[in-house]
Structure 1
């Protein structure tokens, strides 16, 4: 790892350890090394730790500018992270002195645009809504799925929406977070047998047709200050259940994201902040 360019970034509070391996193609980290770096109190990340670890690599497609390898706190690789996409796009655009780029993940090619000094918009593509795309363990409609929390005849939470934004999401709509208990319900639903790849679990409080307050239990991480794909999934699920419009301000614990599920092409556009906390070489 000696001589590796290293950065700490966050997107709306979602914190990332970033390694720039574009010129070191043989650079790898084991699951155990990744988990150790991300852990709160690690030598590299300090007391706060990291929600995800990102490795910037040369693109695998001629249509992309950069490839983003995403690993969560437990060390295993995942296919999408909206907040990290904004951060990596911002870094590339800063260094290339441009205002647009294409970030490649395991799931998609993502068009990104600089809209202000520290604001980036990402075209997250169309949501995946079929049961086998999310995926779910068995066929069912995904507007409302048969998942309940609490007594069968009077559940505390029920009828969540299921959406994939490159990763699986289960979105509950709640009246208040105290009753919903995201920190307790999240891990229960993450490993629910209906989700063979586990699930990110959203708890969305709809404040108006244009505004949602959101908390997310992120698979492999836990409660986070922000989840970009979770914000996208919450708006898609809310609109499908006729709770909101397509353009929604999503307030998370770490900041605000603006989500536009475009009617003309079905793509979800996520706009939000980036912050560079540290940059150096290790």
Structure 2
């Protein structure tokens, strides 16, 4: 099967995008996701994003992590997909249905694209956690400070510390991602205040590991910073790859930043069984 794709990134958080895939294409991509995401044997990416027909929305969005697992949300990826689709459809705004809910994205001017990540959820059952707990002050042991759990389409665990740069992310990230309290695993963020309404964030993404940026993570971190009294609702989040602006409004959490086109191409995928790679998203 010949598969056409676009490679894009948002602040170095990079994606393979397949626009308007047929069901056989979706099945083949799902089966071969690990190979496609491999930076030595495939194209290489943090996530694979697939759009497919889904009226009345402009498309359905399917998100695969680099380990092949399904993800409910991907903020930077959504902005990249929106750039591709808005160009194809000659629109300034699009609507996508995803496993994490309905997403709206639009041109924000000056090369920026915004996406409404929706309303955060804080109840322990909506994160979800393995049992009832205070999601504003989670005790995860390991001698760590309390964390805040937030679902912004996918589960996040945010630690506020004095210096995010000093955290041993490669060591703590995988242990926290798979902590027993998170039955669906979690994205792990460490934040510290570096200025007025300005925070530094480092991230371990569920199913991808350390990445240079994470849009949903930046959104969750900005919300956590506000709830902890560290910032106002409009926050600049500084990541390894650059800056994202997050504004938590009554309409939802709006995340804005740059997107970049890297290249487009084609790859030949081996055939898959007729019932392989089925997804219920």
Instruction: Compute the TM-score of the two structures, normalised by the length of structure 2.
Output: 0.90
Aligned to 1:146: 139
Using the TM superposition, give the Cα deviation of residue 220 of structure 1 relative to its aligned residue in structure 2, in angstroms. 0.9
Aligned to 1:154: none
Q: Is it true that 1:9 corresponds to 2:8 in the alignment?
A: yes
Using the TM superposition, give the Cα deviation of residue 32 of structure 1 relative to its aligned residue in structure 2, in angstroms. 5.2
SS of residue matched to 1:26 = helix
Q: Is it true that 1:83 corresponds to 2:82 in the alignment?
A: no
Alignment length (residue pairs): 266
Distance in structure 2 (CA, Å) of the matches to 1:144 and 1:79: 24
What value does the CA root-mean-square deviation take over the aligned residues?
A: 1.5
> What pairs up with 1:129-144 in 2 under 5 angstroms?
129-144=122-137
Among candidates 17, 24, 27, match of residue 26 of structure 1: 24
SS of residue matched to 1:29 = helix
Distance in structure 1 (CA, Å) of the matches to 2:141 and 2:227: 19
C-alpha contact 1:118 1:275 (8 A) present in aligned 2: no
- Segments of structure 1 that go 5 or more residues without pairing to the other structure are 151-156
Distance in structure 1 (CA, Å) of the matches to 2:136 and 2:102: 26
Distance in structure 2 (CA, Å) of the matches to 1:55 and 1:261: 27
- Segments of structure 2 that go 5 or more residues without pairing to the other structure are 268-281
Using the TM superposition, give the Cα deviation of residue 112 of structure 1 relative to its aligned residue in structure 2, in angstroms. 0.9
> What pairs up with 1:111-260 in 2 under 5 angstroms?
111-116=104-109, 118-150=111-143, 157-260=144-247
Q: Is it true that 1:94 corresponds to 2:92 in the alignment?
A: no
Aligned to 1:68: 61
Using the TM superposition, give the Cα deviation of residue 175 of structure 1 relative to its aligned residue in structure 2, in angstroms. 1.8
Q: 1 or 2 for the larger relative contact order (CA 8 Å, sep ≥6)? A: 2
Using the TM superposition, give the Cα deviation of residue 270 of structure 1 relative to its aligned residue in structure 2, in angstroms. 0.3
What does the per-residue CA deviation read over 1:157-176, in whole Å, with 9 as the maximum and x for residues that have no partner? 31111001111100011222
Aligned to 1:153: none
SS of residue matched to 1:92 = helix
SS of residue matched to 1:244 = coil
Instruction: Compute the TM-score of the two structures, normalised by the length of structure 1.
Output: 0.90
What does the per-residue CA deviation read over 1:29-85, in whole Å, with 9 as the maximum and x for residues that have no partner? 365510011012124x2xxx21011112112x41x1011110001111111100110
Distance in structure 2 (CA, Å) of the matches to 1:170 and 1:134: 9
Using the TM superposition, give the Cα deviation of residue 115 of structure 1 relative to its aligned residue in structure 2, in angstroms. 1.1
Distance in structure 2 (CA, Å) of the matches to 1:254 and 1:121: 17
Distance in structure 1 (CA, Å) of the matches to 2:110 and 2:61: 22
Using the TM superposition, give the Cα deviation of residue 149 of structure 1 relative to its aligned residue in structure 2, in angstroms. 2.9
